[in-house]
Amino acid sequence: MSLIPLYGKTLSELTEIVVAEGLLKYTAAQITDWLYHKDVDSIDQMTNLSKKVREQLSVKYTIGLIAPEQVSESADGTKKYLFPTGINKFVEAAYIPETDRATLCVSSQAGCKMGCLFCMTGKQGFQGHLTSGEIINQLRSIPEFRNVTNIVYMGMGEPFDNLDNVLKSTEILTSEWGMGWSPKRVTVSSIGLIPALRKFMEQSNCHLAISLHTPFDEERKMLMPIQNVYPIADVVAEIRKTFKGGQRRVSFEYIMFDGINDTPKHVKEMTKLLNGLECRVNLIRFHTIPDSPLRGTADAKMLEFRDALTSKGIFTTIRASRGQDIQAACGLLSTKALIERK
């Protein structure tokens, strides 16, 4: 019988486990303290549990940390970690150090079902959802674990297609019994699956990033098939209904494609779409992927686009590209070659 990982379980899940084991309820709080505050690697290190209880738990359970199998380092200091997540399934996480912060970009699924035209992950199909443990393990099991200041769910997969596990992982990150992070340090990105968006807005205080990429319906269908099911106008309308402001930040990601979504007409439509919504826009350089008909917009034109949006009152930034030389930059994460080799 394979052992069940405790890492990635929420306080309520651990409470169910200890009650089922005939232990006192508060044992669950002791376990979360060991898992998420004291960062132990084995049940035997949970020394305020009696030896008998530790032995009892060890029959069925393990901490369940998974070490990365491989690391690549970029000239700019970005590191890409490869994690196994089951038989012939792999995910990548990107650690991006900067002067005043260090961001970890985590995956929520092995592969992806969304098939966006500009993304490498979509080209490998879908291999499976990650558990909450497999998601936060990407943080816990890298050597820079204690340096990480921010987490973004922008790696492989669509987080809202695996929302229950994503919400469990953000609960662990942000709860007092968990890692105690501020929700302001966690950003979950999505292409906008509306029912899941509604649930996320109700149940989480973390930042939200929506992949917008063009405000025009036909163009977005070409870039992102999900537009056929959940149009961006409906996604923005849902955000307007559910976003209460406060500490939470809503941002829109916008990869810039030469001659496709970088014209004054796009600025005008973006202004209409986002009018009055408290949000920001992040412009992202397109990192060319094999056989793609798309090309990235030149830097000068990106600056013009940023300035045009800013002049319309939309706070707009250009995101720095990191880790391109190790295929760790936005849209480049893929484990397809590895799956094929195995």
Rule CB under 8 A: which residues touch another protein? 112-115, 117, 122-126, 158, 161, 163-164, 193, 195-196, 198-199, 217, 221-222, 225-229, 231, 291, 293-294
Distance between CA atoms of residues 188 and 121, nearest Å: 17
Least distance from another protein to the Cβ atom of residue 125, Å: 3
- Residues ≥6 apart with Cβ < 8 Å to 98: none
Closer residue to another protein (CB): 45 or 203: 203
Query: Of the two residues 86 and 97, which places its CB atom closer to another protein in the complex?
Result: 86
Q: Which is nearer to another protein, 142 or 156 (CB)?
A: 156
Helix, strand or coil, per DSSP, at residue 149: coil
Q: What are the φ and ψ backbone dihedral angles of 204, each rounded to 5 degrees?
A: -135, 150
- Of 161, 205, 163, nearest to 187 by C-alpha is 205
Buried b vs exposed e over 292-311: b needs ≥16 C-beta within 10 Å? bebebbeeeebeebbebbee
The two structure tokens encoding residue 120: 């490498």
CB of residue 92 to another protein, shortest distance in Å: 18
Nearer residue to another protein within complex by CB, 157 or 323: 157
Cβ at position 116, least distance to another protein in Å = 9
Helix (H, G, I), strand (E, B), or coil: what is residue 2?
coil
In whole angstroms, the minimum distance from the beta carbon of 118 to another protein comes to 11
Q: Per-residue DSSP letters for 90-102?
A: EEEEEEEE-SS-E
Residues taking part in catalysis? 92, 330
- Give min distance, CB of 164 to another protein, in A: 8
Q: How far is the CB of 56 from another protein (least distance, A)?
A: 32
> CA separation (Å) from 30 to 23, 26, 61, 124, 175?
12, 7, 15, 41, 15
Return the number of the residue (2 or 48) whose C-beta is nearest another protein: 2
Listed residue (226, 220, 331) closest to 273, CA to CA: 220
**CB closer to another protein out of 18 and 163:** 163
| Cβ proximity of 226 and 191 under 8 Å | yes
